Every structure is written in C-alpha cells, then in structure tokens.
Amino acid sequence: MAAGGSASRRAQEARRQERLLREQWQSARRQAQQWEAASEGERRIAAQLLVLTERGWRLLVDRRWPGTRTANVDMLLVGPGGVFVIDVKNWRSAPEVSDGRLCAGGERRDEHAAKLLAVTKAAESAVASLGMSPVAVQPLMVFAGHRVDTALGRIRLLGEHEIGPALLSECRRLRTESVRAMADLLERVFPDYEGSAVAHEAPPTPVTQQQVMPDGLLDLESLRDAALEGALRAPIEQWMTFLHPDQVALVRRNWSGPARISGPAGTGKTVVGLHRAVHLAKRTGGRILYVTFANNLPRVQGTFLKTMSPAVADRVDFRSLHSWAQEFLHARGVPVRLHGDKAETAFSLAWKHVGRGSRLAEIDPRPGYWREEIDHVIKGRGITTFEEYASVPRRRRRTVLRRAHRQAVWELYEAYESRRTERGVHDFNDVLSLALAEARRHADRSPYTSVIVDEVQDLTLVGVRLLHALVGDTPNGLLLVGDGQQAVYPGGFRLAEAGVDIRGDRGQVLKTNYRNSKQVLDAALTVVADDAFEDIDGLRTPGRREVDLTYHDGRVVRVTKPTADAHDQALLDALRALRDGARADAAVLCPSMRAIGHYQRLLSQGGIPVCLLEHYDGRAVDSVKLGTYRRAKGLEFKYVYLPQHDAALANEAATGGSGATEVPETAREREELLRSQLFVAMTRARDLLWLGSVSP
Ligand SMILES: Nc1ncnc2c1ncn2[C@@H]1O[C@H](COP(=O)(O)OP(=O)(O)OP(=O)(O)O)[C@@H](O)[C@H]1O
C-alpha cells in the first residue's frame, strides 16, 4: 500500500479511537467517582483502568491472596495485553530505583516489591493450569500523584498518567475467550476480599462540573495515542503466551542441577528454552546467557524474547558461542587473536608437507576430512597428548583409525599447531579452550546465574565444558536443549565426558511435534530412516522416531525437471505464485554456499527480493529468506523450497568422494552428514515443502 494510503488509514483509526475513548472515558470517570475509600489520585488510576474494562478487559479489585487470611491484592487486570497484578501506592514521595532497590523519601521500600512479586507468583501458578506461560503475567506498581515509568527487575513502575497508555499500547496476547477463562479462574483463586469488586456496568450518573477530574483532556490524548498504537500492532503469536501445560511445568520447574531437554524436530524445545529464560530472569533477577553454535540464531531468538517479555529482555544475552567467548576473553584481559584465514593457511601448509604424503591419504585424500579430525576430535575435545588421542572414542566418525593412522594424524596436528603459532594466530577451538581455562581460573566471577544452550548437539566437548564452568552444578544453572538427530557437524561427545551429570527428572524428552504435518515429517524421516544416531547421553536411537503430530496442514510438492534451467524456472514460478505478503514466510534453502550464490543471482534477476539468513533477525520482512541448511537450524518457515535437494547426496554417492582409492567409510560418513542436514532443512517446513530435482 502507498504511504499516503497508510497515513489516511492511520488518521481514520485515530479518529475512531478518539470517539470511542471519549465515551468510555466518561463512563469510567463516573464509576471511579463512586470509589469512596480511594484518594483522588487512586480514583484517577481507577478511571484509566475502568476505560480498559469498557474495552473487554476484566478488573478484579481488592482480592484475597490465596493461602492467607488477611493479605490482599489491590487489583488483578486481565485483558488482551495479558494478566497484570497491580499494587496501587499512595506515597507522598516519588518512588526511586537505585542499585536494584526501591526507595521513596530516602527510605528503603523493598518489602513492597517482594510482596508484589510473591502475589505475582501465585497468579502465575494459577494461570499455568490453563497453559498460560508466566511470560504473560506482569507485576505493576502504580503511583498516585506521581509521574513514573521505570522498572525494578520485572516489576514495572508507572505513575497515574502512565498506567492507562502503557496498558492500552500493550501487544495483544490473549483472545476474548482466553481473557474470560483467565479472569474467571483468577476470580476463583483470589476471592473477593470484602465484596469490593467494581461493578462492571455502573449505573449512569450525571457528570457535574465538580466531578470532572483534572488533567482529563491530557489523559484522553495519551490514551488515544496508546490505543491507536495497540490497535495497529500485530498480535503476539499464540505460542508466546500459551504452551501445553506440560511445557509450562518444564518452564517453571526447579532443577537441583544441570538439566536437559531433548526431543525430535519441532517438539517445542526452543520455545520451552525461551520461556524458561524469561522465567529465570524474572525469578532470579540475575543475567541469563542463551547460547547457540550458529551466528544468526541468537538474533532471531532475541527478537522473539523481546516481543514475549520486553521487561526482562535486557537481562538475557543471546549469543553465539564463539563471539561470546571472544568477548569474555577481551573483558578478562586475555589476549586472543582469532584469524580464520591464517589458521587455514597454516593447515594447508601442514597438509602439504606432512599430511598429503602420509598414510592418511590412503584413507581419504581430501584434506577436509583430516581438518575435521583435528577440529572436532582433537582440539574440540581438548586433547593435548598423543596418548589421549590414541585411545579416544571418535564419536560419530565411521572410519576406524589404527594406532599408526592416529600417529599420522597427530603429526599433522603438530605440524598445524606449530605453523599456526608461528603466525601468532588462534583458531575457533583455541578461543574456546582459552575461555574455558579463564572460566575455570575464576569460577567465582561468572556474570551469569543461568546458561541455556540451544542446539547443544552442535557444540564441541570443550564448548560444553566452558558453558558448564560458568554455572557449575548450581540449581537451575545449566540447561542443555537439543536433538542428536539434527547434528550437522562431524564428531561428537557424551555429556559424561563433559562432567555434566543429568539424572532423574533433570532429563526431559518432548514428544509432540507442533510444526510438521505427517506428510512433511514422513518425507523428512525417509531421508534418515536408516541412520541410527547416538545422542549426547550415549543412547543409540533409530532414525525413525515416534512423535505425536498436532499440525495437519503441511504438504509436500515434488518437482522434477529434465534440465537445471527448467528446474530453476519452476522454482521462480513457484515463488512468484506466492500470494501477497507470503514471501515473508518463505525460505529457499541450499546445501552449500556455492548454491546460495547461484540462487541469490537467480532470484534477484527474477525480481524476487531476497534476505540472506545471516541478516535475518526474526522480524517479518517482505523478502524470501535464502541460506544454507546449516543456517536454517532452529528456524522455521511456512513455505520451504529446497532446489536440487537430492543433488549433493547423489554427487557424493556417484563419486564416492574423490577418487578410486577412497575407502567407502569416509564417504558414508559424509553422506550421513548430508542426510542429517537435508533432514534439518526439510523439517523447517510448516505448510509447504517444495522439493526440486533435476533428472534428464
Ligand atoms: N504448545 C504449543 N502449541 C502450539 N504450538 C507450539 C507449542 N509449542 C511449540 N509450538 C510451535 O512448534 C514449533 C516448533 O517449536 P520449536 O522451534 O521450539 O521446536 P524445536 O523442538 O526447538 O524444533 P527444532 O529442533 O526442529 O529446531 C514452533 O512453531 C512453535 O511455536
């Protein structure tokens, strides 16, 4: 729509909101005047909340705190914006927050905050039974006679002028039926204190001049602007507020030590991880590190969390492991010089002088395989002596290496290390090892109370040890989220090797897939059906796993064309056929960077706007997303297009690697990895999975 069109729509909506609010404001002020026990300031607050009751919100006033005889809750407000636990204060001095403490008139008032948080917890427990996540329950302290808009941890402090606009501009979280169900439930759990509920429909009384509250016009204007903002905002997605009650239980659970959430693709692991981050940030008041291996995922997850729970967003750090580790080292004054290209050159030289002529070339002449061996098996596991390497179980590596082969690998490793150190540079594994040493040296100086690791199966052993070192075995400290079936990097580890002990109910498995239809999942599972995998707990699991399916609308479209050009044309046609606005939910995923280059050109020349996944931050943009299978990890899209989806596998199978001397085991390992990556890409699809192939 043209800018002028949208501006006129906005103006129209503003006029509509103003008319509506004028009537609602009149009625609310009449009701507030009847609130006899209240001060003038409290009545002004009530008037603003009563405006909300005219707009489908439910206000419960002066309720008894469950489990107590005399303690009360000033107000509970339930509406499209969520559930608010409100404490109204009539303090002479303005509230101040400093160093995380609440003060007024030079005196500490922390006990008021503590009480409000305790009531909020009771409200969270109550609504959890209906599947509402704690993220939708917010404590508010509202101050009569003051202008305030600040936060004390998760408590929002608002003045009497700020409360109405703040609530009206909230994103829509609850539908009408949910508002009703939540309010009915809270009414039962928090009984009437002394029959003081405000009548929803007050009998109309004529408004006299004396009854008109001061600043009425000012409030109306800010209310109108806020209402307009709220009305124009897209509603928050359902999953950000509602979860399955079993998921809510996991989010709120108290774990006595490290915990783990696993489960097949699409079973809500990340969703639980995100809600748990919010829950912990609210409950502990400390900092939470939410970390993944991939670079782009933290941005997307950060955007989601900010929408879900803006009040705590600044206390959850979303980071990729390596960038976080680098910053951590800088902050601690540990010199680090990460230089991927120079490290790569060091390896190439080592291969040329030591590897290529060794017996390793008989097993696999591709240097890449041996680079992975060094990265994932030797350095990734923190191995520093040959004796360790000689006997280490090489998890998820298929080739059997006898002692003589391992000796040859070790020589290659030493040659690489000496060339790397000559150049004075570090590689990615060095960054993690340095950070681990530093974290262990000063275990008492960790900036985090909790660490949540998503897609943990992609980390190396050293990576997991590092994150464990930040919080140790403290209650609710470490949470590992992931699924071994979706490992897209070579090598692997077991948790026991990292010294992480998950026992009893601290290991949870999710079993309901909320993302994929049977058709989509069957297609994806066919790819990995024969690939049993070992997860980080050491359990061997068959490739075809049982899950409960709840989403039924996804379909698979297979398109086979005789030439690459015809295939690409079919892809362009399919993307052009997307209805207006649907591009924001579409992704083209490819196995390699080379393919990305090709499709980026194709789409751009075809006039289809493209957003590379490395630039995507979770906000809706009207472009087709484009990225590798690996980059798509942890994400999902309504429409997923996998051009030439079977080409990489067919190519690997046809060449069996790169030559006649190839031992099939390394080729099989590569194929297995390619299948895992393809499986990950396919399970990103919600409504459509488009599988392109070229077959003459
Ligand atoms: N209780 C629920 N009700 C409806 N949808 C849900 C629920 N829980 C999660 N979802 C949705 O299911 C989808 C998958 O969730 P999520 O991405 O957390 O799964 P995951 O297990 O991390 O997936 P993967 O391992 O494949 O990355 C998301 O669209 C999420 O919003």
User: What total number of domains does the chain contain?
Assistant: 4
Residue of minimum CA distance from atom 11 in ligand 1: 514
Residue 5 falls inside a structural domain:
no
Tell whether 661 is in a known binding site. Answer: no
Residue 4 falls inside a structural domain:
no
Last residue of a domain, one of 237, 260, 289: 237
- Do 466 and 533 lie in one domain? The reply is yes
- Strand, coil or helix: 665: helix
CA 683 to centroid of ligand 1, rounded, Å:
11
Q: What distance in Å separates the CA atoms of residue 179 and residue 78, rounded to the nearest whole number?
A: 6
- Do 47 and 193 lie in one domain? The reply is yes
- Do 112 and 197 lie in one domain? The reply is yes
Residue 9 falls inside a structural domain:
no
Q: Using CB atoms within 10 Å of the CB of residue 132, give its burial: 0 to 12 exposed, 13 to 18 middle, 19+ buried.
A: buried
Q: Are 27 and 204 in contact (CB under 8 A)?
A: yes
Tell whether 512 is in a known binding site. Answer: no
Q: Are 523 and 682 in contact (CB under 8 A)?
A: yes
- Do 513 and 593 lie in one domain? The reply is no
Mutate to test the pocket of ligand 1, among 271, 292, 307, 512 (most ligand atoms within 8 A of CB): 271
- Do 331 and 436 lie in one domain? The reply is yes
Q: Are 649 and 656 in contact (CB under 8 A)?
A: no
pLDDT score recorded for residue 228: 77
Residue 8 falls inside a structural domain:
no
Amino acid in the structure at residue 176? T
Distance of CA 298 to the CA centre of its chain: 7
Mutate to test the pocket of ligand 1, among 178, 236, 238, 239 (most ligand atoms within 8 A of CB): 239
Residue of minimum CA distance from atom 9 in ligand 1: 268
CB environment 494-526: b (16+ within 10 A), e (fewer): bbebbebebeeebebebebbbbbbeebbebbbe
pLDDT score recorded for residue 375: 97
Residue 415 falls inside a structural domain:
yes
Residue 272 falls inside a structural domain:
yes
Q: Are 509 and 480 in contact (CB under 8 A)?
A: no
Q: What distance in Å separates the CA atoms of residue 467 and residue 470, rounded to the nearest whole number?
A: 5
pLDDT score recorded for residue 659: 47
pLDDT score recorded for residue 360: 94
Amino acid in the structure at residue 600? Q
Tell whether 345 is in a known binding site. Answer: no
Q: Measured from the CA of 243, which atom of ligand 1 is nearest?
A: 1
Q: Measured from the CA of 273, which atom of ligand 1 is nearest?
A: 18
CA 239 to centroid of ligand 1, rounded, Å:
8
HEC string of 478-531 equals EEEEECHHHCCCCCCCCHHHHCCCCCHHHEEECCEECCCCHHHHHHHHHHHCCC
Question: What is the value of pTM for the model shown?
Answer: 0.89
Q: Measured from the CA of 267, which atom of ligand 1 is nearest?
A: 21
- Do 362 and 316 lie in one domain? The reply is no
Tell whether 79 is in a known binding site. Answer: no
Answer left, alpha or beta for residue 195, where phi above 0 means left and psi between -120 and 50 means alpha. left
pLDDT score recorded for residue 29: 76
Mutate to test the pocket of ligand 1, among 237, 454, 550, 636 (most ligand atoms within 8 A of CB): 636
CA 218 to centroid of ligand 1, rounded, Å:
44
- Do 440 and 356 lie in one domain? The reply is no
- Torsion angle of C-alpha atoms 172, 173, 175, 181, degrees rounded to 10: -140
Tokens at 366, concatenated: 């591709």
The order of strands in the sheet holding 101-104 is 95-98, 101-104, 107-108
Q: What distance in Å separates the CA atoms of residue 129 and residue 425, rounded to the nearest whole number?
A: 54
- Do 641 and 665 lie in one domain? The reply is yes
CA 258 to centroid of ligand 1, rounded, Å:
22
CA 478 to centroid of ligand 1, rounded, Å:
21
Q: What distance in Å separates the CA atoms of residue 331 and residue 170, rounded to the nearest whole number?
A: 37
Place of tokens 């009915």: 184
Residue of minimum CA distance from atom 12 in ligand 1: 514
Place of tokens 């899950």: 547
Q: What are phi and psi of 283, to 5 degrees?
A: -80, -35
Residue 161 falls inside a structural domain:
yes
Residue list, ligand 1 pocket, CB within 6 Å: 239, 243-244, 247, 263, 265-271, 483, 486, 514-515, 634, 636, 683
- Torsion angle of C-alpha atoms 107, 111, 112, 113, degrees rounded to 10: 110
Q: Are 621 and 631 in contact (CB under 8 A)?
A: no
DSSP 325: H
Residue numbers of the chain with a pLDDT score lower than 50: 1-4, 195-217, 658-663
Residue 512 falls inside a structural domain:
yes
- Strand, coil or helix: 548: strand
- Torsion angle of C-alpha atoms 201, 206, 211, 217, degrees rounded to 10: 80
Nearest alpha carbon to residue 321 among 451, 421, 426: 451
Mutate to test the pocket of ligand 1, among 292, 296, 515 (most ligand atoms within 8 A of CB): 515
Q: What are phi and psi of 426, to 5 degrees?
A: -110, 155
- Give residue 324's domain range: 243-335+429-541
Complex-level ipTM: 0.99
pLDDT, tens digit (0-9, with 9 covering 90-100), for 57-85: 999 988 888 877 777 888 999 999 999 99
CATH number at residue 532: 3.40.50.300
- Do 31 and 136 lie in one domain? The reply is yes
- Do 601 and 523 lie in one domain? The reply is no
- Do 225 and 253 lie in one domain? The reply is no
101-104 and 95-98: which strand pairing? antiparallel
Last residue of a domain, one of 361, 390, 425: 425
pLDDT, tens digit (0-9, with 9 covering 90-100), for 182-241: 999 999 999 887 644 444 444 444 444 444 444 444 567 777 788 777 777 778 888 989
- Ordered DSSP codes for 278-307: HHHHHHH-S-EEEEESSSSHHHHHHHHHHH
- Do 138 and 233 lie in one domain? The reply is yes
Q: What distance in Å separates the CA atoms of residue 565 and residue 568, rounded to the nearest whole number?
A: 5
Q: Measured from the CA of 684, which atom of ligand 1 is nearest?
A: 26
Last residue of a domain, one of 491, 508, 541: 541
Q: Measured from the CA of 482, which atom of ligand 1 is nearest?
A: 25
pLDDT, tens digit (0-9, with 9 covering 90-100), for 489-511: 888 899 999 999 998 899 999 99
Q: Are 248 and 132 in contact (CB under 8 A)?
A: yes
Q: What distance in Å separates the CA atoms of residue 512 and residue 273, rounded to the nearest whole number?
A: 16
Q: Measured from the CA of 633, which atom of ligand 1 is nearest?
A: 27
